[in-house]
Chain A
């Protein structure tokens, strides 16, 4: 991820950046150049932009070379986005999201404004009632940053505050990488003895958790094509599930043989839903294709 370093402008008037003085209020926005066409909002990690030190004449010096590429925030049309057909351009530029009270919640920068707005509509719909969009025609990083700063400045001058979504530490608007769940281990440390018979432990596990998948390998690195397919199906279905690695002899010693007896099923993977064995890869695949899995998971 790119980190833009901001330093105080020298007197030469060349384009340079601002470093925030430590006492001033800072807030972050994040910027990453997107790798694919769709679906990446731009994020810049850990950059503190302080606009309290941005005074109009400083900016003009700064802007000797870069002309601000977007119109004024106040002169930009407010476009409602409450229907799901978002009519917003897909170019690069700056965008401001307003809630249904007309307050600005977030000022963003994107290489694909439309996809960013769609993403925000999905993740925080209650905060996205309308947007203002400023497409930047030659979207190099400097131009984009300039456009963003100009709108932010204008907004602060007009309202006296920073949009809540841009405050430091606020991650509401930033796309988070989904954290994968850890596999369940029967014993916390390797080669520990069980205090409860294994069959009972299995029984409890499948009854206490809605969906349990006993697979070969871990959910992030399955060691068998069938297990991998099952993990893929569960991930696609989006259901919350527990996974147990039957090949892990250190933490799950004896699980393979005991489970075969418990389920009366000789192969892996094995998927249990609501305490009952649903089947292995074949059955899961067939149910997934027929749409039966979604119904099963709802129960």
Chain B
């Protein structure tokens, strides 16, 4: 994958993946750009580009955390993205046990 300097050339999806991978030590990570589904959405207007994503993360770090805390962990990891045009993410956050990956 590109170095830090080349970050901007990577798609948001890959940036999301990288960040979540490193912060959450994900055992399973799926990131899907679904911005097209929200084109025409009030706040998106003409730029339905890399604005909405579906994210599925399986990580041991979610153990003992309720849903709100888990989602916050994901949001915190993606703070930069959220400030630069990432509009919304649908999050599925499971522990390895819950995902049947034990």
* A contact residues vs B (CB 8 Å cutoff): 216-217, 223-226, 247, 264-267, 277-283, 286-287
Contacts and interface: CB of A to CB of B under 8 A. Distances in A.
Contacts of A265: 71-72, 75
A293 B41 CA distance: 28
B7 interface: no
Interface centre among A223, A282, A287 (most CB of B within 10 A): A282
Contacts of B41: 223-225
Given A216-B42, A217-B42, A224-B42, A282 B68 contact: no
Contact of A279 (B43, B68, B82): B68
A286 B67 CA distance: 9
A282 B42 contact: no
A290 B78 CA distance: 28
Contacts of A287: 67
B90 interface: yes
Closest 10 CB pairs of A and B: A223-B42, A283-B67, A266-B82, A279-B68, A267-B88, A266-B75, A282-B91, A282-B90, A279-B67, A277-B68
B38 interface: yes
Interface string B83-101: 0000111111000000000
Contacts of A264: 72
Interface in B32-46: 38, 41-43
A225 B68 CA distance: 20
A255 to B, nearest CB: 14
A118 to B, nearest CB: 38
Contacts of A280: 71
A278 B82 CA distance: 20
Contacts of A217: 42
A267 B87 CA distance: 7
Contact of B71 (A216, A225, A283): A283
A267 B89 contact: yes
Nearest to A292: B67
Contacts of A279: 67-68, 71
A217 B82 CA distance: 21
B85 to A, nearest CB: 12
B87 to A, nearest CB: 8
Contacts of B75: 265-267
Nearest to A286: B67
